[in-house]
Amino acid sequence: MAPGLFGKGFDMTSASQSSAAAFSFRAVERRFGDKRVLCGLDLSVPRGQFLAVIGKSGCGKSTFLRLLTGLDRPDGGTILRDGSGRDAAGPRIMFQEPRLLPWARIGENVAVGLTGLAEGADATARTRAILAEVGLGERAGDWPAALSGGQKQRVALARALVGAPHVLALDEPLGALDALTRIEMQGLLERVWREKRFTAVLVTHDVAEAVVLADRVIVLDAGRIALDLSIDLPRPRRHGAAAVAALEQRLLDVLFGAAA
């Protein structure tokens, strides 16, 4: 992608030239009217890292993701992106709702992620390969209505990954799932991330999910980083393990205003 594609405040090449960062925010500001949503945000994320972003409602999490993916522009500061992966898709985003096209079959929904990247037999092969990776290799010809909620989110994940993005933004993609399906999807997310080594940025309200999945968790509060915590635990991590619970409590203390 060419520098400046996303307008003022973006640079698609400087991050890769200056460091091994997938992206960096430098003194980034975002305002809506008189309200400052992000206040001089500084953050650098290495390539391949799994970052989780947590915070109370209205703290700026979704705005952060929109800026990262180019869906919004900063009012001040600079966002630097690694622009070296020219054969891959730019940042992709996966939402809480699967947002599938009901009139298109599963394979066709996934192929939307290849728009401008591949077509014909190549697109078909890549679509079937990524569906197999998310456990839906035999469902390419099915309609979305035939799938469960968890299966629809697998399709949404496949659509986001089929173009081999260097950054995958995850805007509470598991929030609407039941507890068991959510844990299954957490395992799938971790597996495909470890296999493909893209940079993952997860926004979640689930503190346990953040600790289980991420290498690093930041807590946003009033548009600023209140805590930047490395999660130095071996993988895979088990819900309820003592070390996981201790880190969850530390994050909850910060979220609810206790001493960090």
Residues in the chain: 260
Mean pLDDT over all residues of the chain?
A: 90
Task: Give the predicted TM-score (pTM) of the model.
Answer: 0.89
| Contact indicator for 42, 18 with CB cutoff of 8 Å | no
- What are 132's two structure tokens? 């197999």
How far apart are the C-alpha atoms of 126 and 178, rounded to whole Å? Answer: 30
For residues 23 and 12, what is the distance between their CA atoms, to the nearest angstrom? 9
pLDDT tens-digit map of 120-147: 999 999 999 999 999 999 999 999 999 9
Q: Are residues 153 and 110 in contact, defined by beta-carbon separation less than 8 angstroms?
A: no
25-28 own/partner pairs: CB under 8 Å, 24+ apart: 25/64, 25/67, 25/77, 25/78, 25/79, 26/77, 26/78, 26/79, 26/80, 27/76, 27/77, 27/78, 28/67, 28/74, 28/76, 28/77, 28/78, 28/79
CA 31, 37, 43, 49 torsion: positive or negative? Answer: negative
Q: Is the pLDDT of residue 172 over 80?
A: yes
When computed from its CA atoms, the radius of gyration of the chain, rounded to whole angstroms, is: 18
Q: For 190-247, how does the pLDDT look when each residue is reduced to its tens digit (9 = 90+)?
A: 999 999 999 999 999 999 999 999 999 999 999 999 999 999 999 999 999 999 999 9
- The SS3 of residue 151 is helix
What percent of the chain has pLDDT above 90? 85
Please, what are the domains in the chain? 30-91+165-259 (3.40.50.300), 101-164 (no CATH)
For residue 16, the model assigns a pLDDT of 40
Q: Quick check: 47 pLDDT over 50?
A: yes
Structure confidence at residue 8 as a pLDDT band (50, 70, 90): very low
